[in-house]
Structure 1
Amino acid sequence: MSRDVVVAGVGMIPFAKPGKHDPYFQMAATATRAALGDAGVAYGQIQQAYVGYVYGDSTSGQRALYEVGMTGIPVVNVNNNCSTGSTALFLARQAIASGAADCVLALGFEQMNPGALGSVFADRPSPFDRFDQATDELVGHGEIPLALRYFGGAGKAHMDEFGTQLSTFAKIRAKASRHAARNPLALFRTEVTEDEVMAAPVMWEGVMTRLMACPPTCGAAAAVLCSDAFAQKHGLSRGVRIKAQAMTTDTPAAFEARDMREVVGFSMARAAAQQVYEAAGVGPADLDVVELHDCFAHNELLSYEALGLCPVGGAEQFVLDGDNTYGGRVVTNPSGGLLSKGHPLGATGLAQCTELVQQLRGTAEARQVEGARLALQHNLGLGGACVVTLYERV
Structure 2
Amino acid sequence: MTNKTIVAGVGMVPFAKPGASDSYDHMGAAAIRLALVDAGIDYAQVQQAYAGYVYGDSTAGQLALYQVGMSGIPVVNVNNNCSTGSTALFLARQAIEHGIAECVLAVGFEQMARGAIVEKYTDRPSPFARFEALCGELVDEALPLALRYFGGAGREHMQRYGTRLETFAAIRAKASRHAANNPLALFRKVVSTEDVMNDVPVWPGVMTRMMACPPTCGGAAAILVSEDFARRHGIDTRVAIAAQAMTTDRPGTFEDRSMIELVGAGMTREAAQAVYTQAGIGPDDIDVCELHDCFAHNELITYEGLGLCPVGEGERFVMDGDNTYGGAVVTNPSGGLLSKGHPLGATGLAQCYELTRQLRGTAGPTQVDGARLGLQHNLGLGGACVVTLYERQ
Whole-angstrom CA distance in 2 between matches of 1:27 and 1:327: 35
Whole-angstrom CA distance in 1 between matches of 2:109 and 2:264: 23
1:357 aligns with 2:323: no
Whole-angstrom CA distance in 2 between matches of 1:310 and 1:119: 34
- After superposition, residues 249-268 of structure 1 pair within 5 angstroms as 249-268=248-267
Whole-angstrom CA distance in 1 between matches of 2:144 and 2:370: 42
Question: In the alignment, what sits opposite 2:136?
Answer: 136
Question: In the alignment, what sits opposite 2:66?
Answer: 66
How far does residue 146 in structure 1 lie from its aligned partner after superposition?
Answer: 1.4
- Bigger drift between 288-297 and 125-134 goes to 125-134
**1:54-95 CA-partner distances (Å, limit 9, x unpaired):** 000000000110000000000000000000000000000000
Displaced runs of 4 or more, over 6 A: none
Whole-angstrom CA distance in 1 between matches of 2:113 and 2:371: 36
1:341 aligns with 2:340: yes
1:182 aligns with 2:185: no
- Bigger drift between 52-61 and 126-135 goes to 126-135
Question: How many pairs are equivalent?
Answer: 393
Whole-angstrom CA distance in 2 between matches of 1:76 and 1:191: 39
How far does residue 125 in structure 1 lie from its aligned partner after superposition?
Answer: 1.2
Q: Which amino acid aligns with 1:199?
A: N
Whole-angstrom CA distance in 2 between matches of 1:126 and 1:188: 33
Whole-angstrom CA distance in 2 between matches of 1:242 and 1:293: 19
Whole-angstrom CA distance in 1 between matches of 2:119 and 2:136: 17
**1:211-230 CA-partner distances (Å, limit 9, x unpaired):** 00000000000000000000
Whole-angstrom CA distance in 1 between matches of 2:120 and 2:319: 41
Question: In the alignment, what sits opposite 2:16?
Answer: 16
Gaps of 5+ in 2: none
Question: In the alignment, what sits opposite 1:311?
Answer: 310
Question: In the alignment, what sits opposite 2:48?
Answer: 48
Whole-angstrom CA distance in 1 between matches of 2:67 and 2:170: 42
How far does residue 17 in structure 1 lie from its aligned partner after superposition?
Answer: 0.1
User: Secondary structure of the residue that 2:10 maps to in structure 1?
Assistant: strand
Report the RMSD for the aligned CA atoms in angstroms.
0.4
Q: TM-score, normalised by structure 1?
A: 0.99
Question: In the alignment, what sits opposite 1:192?
Answer: 191
Whole-angstrom CA distance in 2 between matches of 1:57 and 1:221: 19
1:384 aligns with 2:362: no
Q: Which amino acid aligns with 1:250?
A: D
How far does residue 139 in structure 1 lie from its aligned partner after superposition?
Answer: 1.0
Whole-angstrom CA distance in 2 between matches of 1:145 and 1:55: 18
Whole-angstrom CA distance in 2 between matches of 1:120 and 1:268: 25
Whole-angstrom CA distance in 2 between matches of 1:146 and 1:95: 35
Gaps of 5+ in 1: none
- After superposition, residues 154-169 of structure 1 pair within 5 angstroms as 154-169=153-168
Whole-angstrom CA distance in 2 between matches of 1:393 and 1:208: 38
How far does residue 2 in structure 1 lie from its aligned partner after superposition?
Answer: 1.4
- After superposition, residues 212-361 of structure 1 pair within 5 angstroms as 212-361=211-360
Q: Which amino acid aligns with 1:254?
A: T
User: Secondary structure of the residue that 2:178 maps to in structure 1?
Assistant: helix
Whole-angstrom CA distance in 2 between matches of 1:125 and 1:195: 43
How far does residue 122 in structure 1 lie from its aligned partner after superposition?
Answer: 1.3
